[in-house]
Amino acid sequence: MRTYDEILQDIKKLAKVSSNKELCEFLDIPYKNLNMWQYRGVIPAKKLIEIADKLNASVDLLINGDTNSTNLPKQTPAHNPKLQSEVFKEFLELFKEYGNDKLLLPIIDKLKEIERISKE
């Protein structure tokens, strides 16, 4: 697992800032928050998700590194045709009305199984 300092360096690189002060301004957080993260040696998970979204990067990228990758940004919904299909839009509308996490768990499990099989 990478250290806090390594993750912070990559966040700065992606944000195209060099100092902690610039990073705080970019992330719109108080400087004391950054100091607390440094003292604890960890960025809170919720904040890491927010940072990834702001940088248009995946949390996995921030945690595991490789910011030199050519496939750096995550796909946004506008760039992913599967997320624009009528079937997916219908699913989202129905899920908003009737869905819950319990309903999603078997779907997620099935997709993970498909992912695992496709990598074999």
- Note down the domain range covering 94: 77-119
- pLDDT of res. 72: 45
* DSSP-derived secondary structure letter, 76: P
Each residue of 46-89: pLDDT tens digit?
Answer: 888 889 888 888 888 888 876 555 444 444 444 566 667 788 77
Q: Are residues 90 and 57 in the same domain?
A: no
The answer to whether 56 and 73 have CB atoms below 8 angstroms apart is yes
**How confident is the model at residue 66, as a pLDDT?**
65
- Structural domains in the chain (count): 2
Q: Are residues 92 and 50 in the same domain?
A: no
Residue 51 lies in a domain: yes
- Structure confidence by residue, pLDDT tens digits, 17-37: 999 999 999 999 999 999 999
* 69 occurs within a structural domain: no
Q: Are 52 and 62 spatial neighbours (Cβ–Cβ below 8 Å)?
A: yes
Note the pTM of the prediction, 2 decimals.
Answer: 0.55
